[in-house]
Structure 1
Amino acid sequence: MLSVLALRAGNTVYYSEIAEELWPGELLKNPRNAIQAQATRIRKTIQKCVTGNREPVALRAVQNGYLLDIPRAAVDANRFLDHATRGFGELPVDPERALRSLQQGLRLWRGPALLNTHYGEECRSAAAFLEEQRLLAWEDLASAHLLLGNHRQATIELQRLLAAHPSREHLCELLMLALYRTGRQSEALHLFHRVRQRLDAELGVQPGRALLRLYESILAQDSVLDSDAAVLTRAEANLRPTPKTRLTA
């Protein structure tokens, strides 16, 4: 319940929406009483967590629902999205500042998004969205390293990410580019063939056009691979949320 309220910080969440999120598909005799009991528990928990001069977190009962009366920036997920969006926007103009923004955003994570809250559709959708944005932020971080000439650091980050997401072609592209820039052309080409075989075996598809073009460019040792454009065109290929994207509809 606290997750749903935090996802919509500053906005009313109605009893019916809370009930559907906490007990999806169930018909409770008195869901309002059950929700009020949860609200009491949340208030007690919040009170225990407030220390020093920190502002109290107000959980307000409003007409037909509850409202978590906190600013948008008080929710770490929103701060992460702001840092990630800012970092992506700064890649072409100031990759060093982009790197700092992305690192600040990624440091906010403490494990999977909305852990143990995936009973209802809203939390499940928000968690999936956040996890995808986290992965995009890691890709942008690697792109910032490439733009700054930190090719070995980018390679290390991308090898870790691709091991966790072996069929993600965009990660493969970035890692191939990083390997090529560190003088490991043969490894970049071998990586392409490994990913191509995996896509064929697991999904029955061939690599996309961008990955195929990169493979051909590496074979030809195309000079464009050493340019910023080789990095930025790949970063821009993935859609990002606007700076004030809400986590829920």
Structure 2
Amino acid sequence: MDAKKVRMALAVLALRAGQVVSFDELIDELWGETLLKNTRNSLQGIVARMRRSLGRIGLDATDQGVVRTVGNGYVLDMPADRLDANRFLQQAREGRSLIGLSPHKAAELLRGALAMWYGPALVDVGDGQRCRAAALRLDEQRRLVQEDLISAQLEAGEAGAVVPELKQLHAEHPERERFSEQLMLALYRTGRQSEAIDTFHRTRKQLDDEMGLLPSRQLQRLYQAIISQDASLSR
């Protein structure tokens, strides 16, 4: 159990690297409403173990190392670019900004960002409120980068290459209309207009059956453009 608490505490500090996280915030994340006789001592023990673990991988294990006591809390004193989550988000932003300018370079950067992942975000750090919320945000960013990568590939003229992946993503995430749009566009650009139209109707039915929603105006406009074979859809 202590090992899990160490991971939780380190995760909370890493999510706010360079900022002081108060003792109370850490105690709330690690123990919630569980009553302990002396939570401050328990927290100090967790942090001491954390420092020893960091020391074994070459980081200073003392209070003057990367985990420092500052005022009424602790701070992870580490550059932002040393943390996987920050590097992922920065590279994702760079790739996203290049989609319309240099789609091949954008795709390279976005693939590199996705390559940093090897499982769900914060999968082994427990179920504290802050870690859960951060995991949801990071997993959502991962989905957005997947969508951005496909957009870059479509801009680069790789419609045929993305159809198999899009079919899988559309089946796994029917609620994400951007996957539906991208699949419809990729199918249309590879000469499969009827499949693109079928994809719209399946999406509309799923949205209605599962969430009581209508397709977005953007998805409906794409559907109408595909029906009329609008020249603007071709690349």
User: TM-score if structure 2 supplies the norm length?
Assistant: 0.90
Per the alignment, residue 208 of structure 2 pairs with 200
1:230 aligned residue: none
Within 5 A, what are the aligned runs for 1:106-117?
106-117=114-125
Identify which of 102, 113, 124 aligns with 1:94.
102
The normalised TM-score by structure 1 is 0.85
Q: Cα deviations across residues 125-177 of structure 1 (Å, max 9, x unaligned)?
A: 11111111110100000011111111122222322221221121111001100
AA matched with 1:131: D
- Asked if 2 retains the 8 angstrom alpha-carbon contact of 1:11 and 1:67, the reply is yes
Q: Which residue of 1 aligns with 2:163?
A: 155
Name the structure 2 match of 1:124: 132
Distance 1:201-1:139 versus aligned 2 partners, 3 A rule? same
Instruction: After TM superposition, list the pairs within 5 Å mapping 1:34-53 onto structure 2.
Output: 34-50=42-58
In structure 2, C-alpha distance between the alignment counterparts of 1:50 and 1:179, rounded to whole Å:
51
Alignment of 1:183-198 (within 5 A): 183-198=191-206
Amino acid at match of 2:163: T
Q: What amino acid is the match of 1:202?
A: E
1:52-102 CA distances to partner (integer Å, 9 max, x unpaired)?
xxxx96211222211111101111000000011111111111111111111
Matches within 5 A, 1:1-249: 1-50=9-58, 58-227=66-235
Moved more, 111-120 or 77-86: 111-120
RMSD: 1.7
Using the TM superposition, name which of 161-170 and 74-83 deviates more.
161-170
CA distance in 2, matches of 1:179, 1:118: 42
Identity in percent: 47
Higher RCO structure, 1 or 2 (CA under 8 Å, sep 6+)? 1
Instruction: Show structure 1 runs of 5+ residues with no match.
Output: 228-249
Superposed structure 1 runs of 4+ greater than 4 Å apart: none
Task: State the aligned residue count.
Answer: 223
